[in-house]
């Protein structure tokens, strides 16, 4: 392969299935602590699996296992993926109770925590490092979204990139693998900025990255902004997106495992048919494009290419 796909099998030697959970957390960019409107692109409801509704953590895990088993997905174990909103946004005692309820399930091998970089501190990170030392798999995924402060401000993110750099560095320093999430196509960002972003991200100690195209969801503030200022948005069709992604990956550190390259929410949340493209189709297009160029992830970083 010409890029580094994210694989739990490779990382831990096990086929692990993530179970997306709703830990009942909220978001400081919605409850007034940082802001009230949330990030302009956000409609977090689009990312809640239906099996989480009205259930405690253990019930969600049971329902998640049944959901995946019903689709014929085999696994050696499961990871409790705290995905909804900001999953370190609570006092440490609350985090302990939620995470440890998940870890006490016999089929759960570890936790993956999605959060904002401004919702972490030394005490929480020390606790996560402790859970890892006890033999649990522990990973943190930060919503980076953009490395540019002007963009973060424009999308009402409520923190600067320096905050991300600190959170990522401190998490990595404690031996907890760090993943990041970015969005390609945020307003005001040019092609050149996006390519430069790959180099900036390569300097962070992240071990994985999820990349999403900007999806303009119905009813979001970014939808209004797009209607008013369409020229500020780099709107790409799938072919152009794959081209840009190939350019991006050529500038990205080769050991950063790529977990996702497209976001797709249920059709009722978006007007764009783009969102219905399947992840697998895009992966194939990307591999083909890199092959046509005889290129690979990290080619322009001057770092050694991985061999596969």
Interface residue list for ligand SF4 (CB under 6 A): 27, 29-30, 38-39, 42, 44, 85-86, 116, 143
Specify the residue, 27 or 234, whose C-beta has the smaller distance to ligand SF4: 27
Q: What's the closest the beta carbon of residue 122 comes to ligand SF4, in angstroms?
A: 21
Q: What's the closest the beta carbon of residue 157 comes to ligand SF4, in angstroms?
A: 7
Specify the residue, 29 or 202, whose C-beta has the smaller distance to ligand SF4: 29
What phi and psi, each to the nearest 5 degrees, are found at residue 209?
-145, 135
Specify the residue, 124 or 299, whose C-beta has the smaller distance to ligand SF4: 124
What does DSSP say about strands 16-21 and 257-260: parallel, antiparallel, or unpaired? unpaired
Within 10 angstroms of residue 244's Cβ, the number of other Cβ atoms is 18
Q: What's the closest the beta carbon of residue 9 comes to ligand SF4, in angstroms?
A: 29
Q: What's the closest the beta carbon of residue 43 comes to ligand SF4, in angstroms?
A: 8
Where does residue 265 rank: exposed (0-12), middle (13-18), buried (19+ CB within 10 A)?
A: middle
Specify the residue, 118 or 139, whose C-beta has the smaller distance to ligand SF4: 118
Q: What's the closest the beta carbon of residue 86 comes to ligand SF4, in angstroms?
A: 6
Q: What's the closest the beta carbon of residue 38 comes to ligand SF4, in angstroms?
A: 3
Specify the residue, 16 or 113, whose C-beta has the smaller distance to ligand SF4: 113
Where does residue 14 rank: exposed (0-12), middle (13-18), buried (19+ CB within 10 A)?
A: middle
* DSSP letter (8 states) at residue 270: B
- What the block records as the tokens of 266 is 């249920």
Which of 82, 47, 21, 22 lies closest to 270 in space, CA to CA? 47
How far is residue 2 from each of residues 265, 284, 308, measured CA to CA in Å? 27, 11, 8
Specify the residue, 42 or 249, whose C-beta has the smaller distance to ligand SF4: 42
Contact 242, 189 (CB under 8 A): no
Contact 108, 79 (CB under 8 A): yes
């Amino acid at each position: 392969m010409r890029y580094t796909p994210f694989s739990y099998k490779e990382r831990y030697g096990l086929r692990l299935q993530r179970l997306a959970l709703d830990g009942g957390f909220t978001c400081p960019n919605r409850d007034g602590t940082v802001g009230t409107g949330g990030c302009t692109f956000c409609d977090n409801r689009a990312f809640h699996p239906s099996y989480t509704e009205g259930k405690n953590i253990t019930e969600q895990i049971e329902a998640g296992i049944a959901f995946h088993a019903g689709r014929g997905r085999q696994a050696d174990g499961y990871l409790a993926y705290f995905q909804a909103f900001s999953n370190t946004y609570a006092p440490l005692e609350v985090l302990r109770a939620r995470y440890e309820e998940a870890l006490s399930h016999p089929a759960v091998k570890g936790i993956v925590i999605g959060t904002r970089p401004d919702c972490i501190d030394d005490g929480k990170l020390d606790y996560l490092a402790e859970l890892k030392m006890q033999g649990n798999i522990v990973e943190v995924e930060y919503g980076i979204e953009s490395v540019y402060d002007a963009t973060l401000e424009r999308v009402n993110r409520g923190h600067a990139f320096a905050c991300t750099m600190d959170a990522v560095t401190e998490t990595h320093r404690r031996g907890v693998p760090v993943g990041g999430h970015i969005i390609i196509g945020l307003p005001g960002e040019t092609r050149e900025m996006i390519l430069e972003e790959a180099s900036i991200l390569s300097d962070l100690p992240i071990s994985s990255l999820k990349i999403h195209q900007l999806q303009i969801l119905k009813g979001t503030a970014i939808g209004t902004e797009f209607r008013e200022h369409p020229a500020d948005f780099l709107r790409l069709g799938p072919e152009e997106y794959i081209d840009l992604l190939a350019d991006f990956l050529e500038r990205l550190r080769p050991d950063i495992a790529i977990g996702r390259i497209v976001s797709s929410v249920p059709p009722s949340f978006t007007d764009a048919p783009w969102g219905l493209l399947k992840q697998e189709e895009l992966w194939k297009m990307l591999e083909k494009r890199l092959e046509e160029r005889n290129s690979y992830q990290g080619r322009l970083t001057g770092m050694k290419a991985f061999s596969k």
